[in-house]
Structure 1
C-alpha cells in the first residue's frame, strides 16, 4: 500500500455507535463520540427515531453525524404510552434490519464502518455486526466491578447463575470487600421488578462476547480506580475509556465542552443561580438512576430526612453495588442501613448525612479521598494517562482493520 493510500487509511476511521435513548446511555455514548472525533475519526450515532426527536439539542462537531435505525415515526405520545420492555423489544425488531441497511449504505458510499459500538440492552447489534463481518465493541456505562459481577454470574464456564434467579450469598472479587446479596445489582435479585426482563439481556450480552473473540468491551472507568476488577475479566478484551465526562471537567482540552449535549428534558438555568447562592460544599445532591423503582414509603423517609437535616438539597432522580464501593473500596461515602422492611428510616439517613456533611474526622477523610479520586480521573484522561493511551490503542486497532478493508 503506497503512502498516500496509507494516509487515507489513517484518517478514515468510521465508528458507528448504537445506543438506547435514555439519559444514562445517551451521555456516555455522546461523550465517547466526541472524544473519538477529537482524535480525527468519524463517528455516526444511531438510535430510535423517537429518541433522536426527544433530544433537545444534539452536539454539532465536524465528523459527528446522527442516524435513525428504527421504524417508529418519532411520535412522542405513542412512545410514552409504551412500557420500557416493549420499547426495547420493538427497537430490536425494527432496528436489526435497518442497522444492516445503514452499514451497507455507508459501504456503498465509500465510507465503510470500521467498528460498531453498542450499549447495554442492545446485544442484537453485535449479531448484526458479526453477520456483516464488522468488528464490534460493547460500551458498558457502569463501573468495571458491576461488569465483573455480571461475568461471574453469567459466564458459560463456571457462571453462578446456572439458569436460577436466586443469587449466591456472597461473591468475592480480587482486592475488594466481600459482596453479599444486598450489594449486588438489583436486577440480579428475583424480587426486583426489572429482573425478569434485564437478566436474559445481560446473559445474552455475556454469551455473545464469549462467542466472538474479535469483540471487546469498553468500560466507563479508569485503571487508577478499578485496576483489579479490570484485570479480573480475563476471558474478554477490556478497554477502560472513562471517565466519560465533558472535556472541561477532566482533560481540559476543550473548555467549551461543559455538557454532554443530549438532554431529553428542557434545560433550566434556575438551579445554577440557586447553587451559586449556597455556601461551597453545603448542598446535598440526591440521585437514584434512570430505571430505579423506590417504594413510596422510602421516598417519604428520604424527603423527611433531608428536610429535617436542614441543609439545601437537589433531588434528581442508590444503586447497591455502587454504594458498597463508595463506602468500603473508595471511602468517599457511607451506606445507610435498612430496617426489617427494607426501608431506610429518616433517622438513619440523618445520621449518615451528619457523618458526610459534618466536620468530623471521617467526613474530612471522605472529602480528601474524593479529591484524590478526582485527581486520578483527570490524570487518566490527560496525555500519557491510561484512558488517553487506551483511546489511542483503540484507534490503532481501527487502523489495522481499515487497512484490511481497503486492501480487499
Structure 2
C-alpha cells in the first residue's frame, strides 16, 4: 500500500542545513511519511553514518562540482551557484515527473533556505512546497520586513528600530549583510535572500514556513507576518537528547567531519558544571589575533576547557600551554558534549544550530556572534531568553575583542551569585519547555501533524496535473 505522504526533501549542502534536515526527515517518517532526501553528490559522499531507516531513501545529484567547490572570489561563486541551480532544477523536474508516471508521486517538496529555484521548479508541476527555515522565526521576520517596506530603516537604524512582532533592535542585533556599513562582499548574500523572498511572493499556493523553533520560544515572531503560514516544528534535535522517546536516535547522522575520540572520557574526569566548551561551528574561521585573545582568556580564568580548533585555522603560539590546561580537538559530537554534566558554559559564535542545541541541553552561553543571523541570535540569547552574555559589546580598533573582556564574561557565567544563578535557572526553564514542545500533544508535534494533513488535502486536489501538463 503506497504511503499517503511522499516528501521530497532538498537541503542546502552545508552542515548547518544537513543536520536539521535529517532530523526533520526522521520526524516525518515517525508520522508515517516516506522521505526522499536529495543533496549534491559531493555532500552525499562526505556525509558519514547516514541514517538508515525504513521509508528513507537517498537520491543525490551532481551540481557539476563533484569534488567540491574549491575556488574563491565572487565571480567563481556566481558561476557555481548558476550551475547548481541549472542542474538541480533539471534533476528535480525529472524526478517529480518520473515518480508521477510510476504512480508514486511526491505530495510535497520541502527545501531549505537559499534554494528558491527548487520551489520554482515544483510550482511548474503544481506540487505543493514548504520552506524549512533553519534559523529562528525572528530572523525570517527581519528579512521579510526588509524586502517589504523597511529596508531604509534597517540599513541604517539611527539608534534602534521597532519591527512588527519583534523586540527593539539596534544595528548590532541585525543581520550584518543588511546594514549599509557591511563590506561589499556581503552583497551576494543579500541578493540570495532577495531571490528567496521573491519566490515566496509569487507562490500562488501559500508556502508553509517550517521553523526550527518552538511556540513558547518565539510566540510573537511566529505570527509577525500575517499573510504567510509560519509554524514551529522544532527543536529538530535527536530524540535521545530531547524527549527520550527513542534512545537509539542519538545522532543527527549527517556528520561531514570526523569527531575526535576521547572527548566524553575527558569530560568524565571533570567536576559538574566546571568545563567551558568552545566552538565556532563548521564554517567560521577566526583571525589568529582573535584566537590568541580567546586563548589568553581561557588560560587566565583557570577553568578546564574543551576547544574545537579546525584544521583550517592557524596554529596558536601558546598551544602547548593550552593543552596542559584543557583539551583541543578538531571536531566533536556537539550534543554529546553539551549534554554532559561537567559542562558549565558554551563559548559560541551563536549559529542557530549551536544555540538551539545549547538551549535543549540547558547550558548557559557566552556568545561571540560573527555575522548573518548570529547577531540576531545573540540578541535573543542575552536580552529575550536571558540564557547568556555577549562578549562583543566593545572591540578594539582592529575589530578584536580582547582577552580580558572574554574572561570577564566567562567568569560571570561560570561563577556564583545572582547573574550566574539567573542564567542557569532560565536555561533550565527553556530546556523543559523545549521538551514539552515535541511531546505527544505538544505544539511542535501538533504543528507537524497539521502540516501533513494540509499536504494531504492539497495533494488530493489533482495529483495528475503535473503528468498531464509536463508529459
Answer whether TM exceeds 0.5 for this pair. yes
- Displacement of 1:73: 6.5
Change (3 A) 1:96 1:176: closer
Structure 1 counterpart of 2:335: none
Structure 2 counterpart of 1:3: none
For 1:215 and 1:175, locate their aligned partners in 2 and report how far apart those are by CA, in whole Å: 20
Asked if residue 186 in structure 1 is aligned to residue 243 in structure 2, the reply is: no
Structure 2 counterpart of 1:38: 30
For 1:38 and 1:238, locate their aligned partners in 2 and report how far apart those are by CA, in whole Å: 22
Of the three residues 103, 126, 129, the one matched with 2:96 is 103
Change (3 A) 1:286 1:311: same
Say whether the 8 Å CA contact 2:396–2:402 is kept in structure 1: no
Say whether the 8 Å CA contact 1:92–1:124 is kept in structure 2: yes
Bigger Cα displacement from structure 2, 81-90 vs 25-34: 81-90
Asked if residue 112 in structure 1 is aligned to residue 101 in structure 2, the reply is: no
Q: How does 1:280-319 map to 2 (within 5 A)?
A: 280-292=272-284, 294-316=286-308, 318=369, 319=374
For 1:67 and 1:322, locate their aligned partners in 2 and report how far apart those are by CA, in whole Å: 33
For 2:131 and 2:166, locate their aligned partners in 1 and report how far apart those are by CA, in whole Å: 24
Per-residue CA distance 1:299-329 (angstroms, 9 max, x = gap) = 2212221222121223347222111111100
For 1:93 and 1:365, locate their aligned partners in 2 and report how far apart those are by CA, in whole Å: 51
Structure 2 counterpart of 1:148: 141
Q: Structure 2: state its 5+ residue gaps.
A: 310-368, 466-471
Of the three residues 189, 197, 203, the one matched with 2:188 is 197
Structure 2 counterpart of 1:172: 162
Say whether the 8 Å CA contact 1:333–1:356 is kept in structure 2: yes
Structure 1 counterpart of 2:11: 19
Structure 2 counterpart of 1:159: 150
Bigger Cα displacement from structure 2, 219-228 vs 183-192: 183-192
- Displacement of 1:292: 3.4
Structure 1 counterpart of 2:412: 355
Say whether the 8 Å CA contact 1:13–1:402 is kept in structure 2: no
- Displacement of 1:33: 0.4
- Displacement of 1:57: 1.9
- Displacement of 1:237: 1.0
Change (3 A) 1:127 1:167: farther
Query: Residue 33 of structure 1: SS of its match in structure 2?
Result: helix
Say whether the 8 Å CA contact 2:165–2:223 is kept in structure 1: no
For 2:251 and 2:185, locate their aligned partners in 1 and report how far apart those are by CA, in whole Å: 30
For 2:70 and 2:419, locate their aligned partners in 1 and report how far apart those are by CA, in whole Å: 45
Query: Residue 132 of structure 1: SS of its match in structure 2?
Result: coil
- Displacement of 1:355: 0.6
For 2:49 and 2:116, locate their aligned partners in 1 and report how far apart those are by CA, in whole Å: 27
Bigger Cα displacement from structure 2, 96-105 vs 66-75: 66-75
Change (3 A) 1:179 1:287: farther
Structure 1 counterpart of 2:381: 326
Per-residue CA distance 1:135-167 (angstroms, 9 max, x = gap) = 111111011111111111112xx23259xx944
Asked if residue 345 in structure 1 is aligned to residue 402 in structure 2, the reply is: yes
For 1:244 and 1:17, locate their aligned partners in 2 and report how far apart those are by CA, in whole Å: 15
Aligned length: 394
Asked if residue 226 in structure 1 is aligned to residue 218 in structure 2, the reply is: yes
For 1:85 and 1:269, locate their aligned partners in 2 and report how far apart those are by CA, in whole Å: 35
For 1:260 and 1:96, locate their aligned partners in 2 and report how far apart those are by CA, in whole Å: 27
Of the three residues 67, 72, 79, the one matched with 2:64 is 72
Structure 1 counterpart of 2:431: 374
Query: Residue 17 of structure 1: SS of its match in structure 2?
Result: strand
Say whether the 8 Å CA contact 2:141–2:225 is kept in structure 1: yes
Bigger Cα displacement from structure 2, 231-240 vs 175-184: 175-184
Query: Residue 227 of structure 1: SS of its match in structure 2?
Result: coil
Say whether the 8 Å CA contact 1:160–1:168 is kept in structure 2: no
Structure 2 counterpart of 1:127: 120
For 1:147 and 1:103, locate their aligned partners in 2 and report how far apart those are by CA, in whole Å: 28
Say whether the 8 Å CA contact 2:131–2:208 is kept in structure 1: yes
For 1:221 and 1:71, locate their aligned partners in 2 and report how far apart those are by CA, in whole Å: 30
- Displacement of 1:406: 5.0
Query: Residue 398 of structure 1: SS of its match in structure 2?
Result: helix
Query: Residue 226 of structure 1: SS of its match in structure 2?
Result: coil
Change (3 A) 1:198 1:293: farther
Structure 2 counterpart of 1:395: 452
Say whether the 8 Å CA contact 2:395–2:402 is kept in structure 1: yes
Say whether the 8 Å CA contact 1:48–1:72 is kept in structure 2: no
For 2:452 and 2:460, locate their aligned partners in 1 and report how far apart those are by CA, in whole Å: 12
Q: TM-score, normalised by structure 2?
A: 0.79
Per-residue CA distance 1:150-188 (angstroms, 9 max, x = gap) = 111112xx23259xx944343324675421111112232
For 1:70 and 1:171, locate their aligned partners in 2 and report how far apart those are by CA, in whole Å: 43
- Displacement of 1:105: 1.5
For 1:191 and 1:381, locate their aligned partners in 2 and report how far apart those are by CA, in whole Å: 38
Say whether the 8 Å CA contact 1:28–1:141 is kept in structure 2: yes
Say whether the 8 Å CA contact 2:36–2:58 is kept in structure 1: yes
For 1:293 and 1:167, locate their aligned partners in 2 and report how far apart those are by CA, in whole Å: 27
Q: Structure 1: state its 5+ residue gaps.
A: 1-7
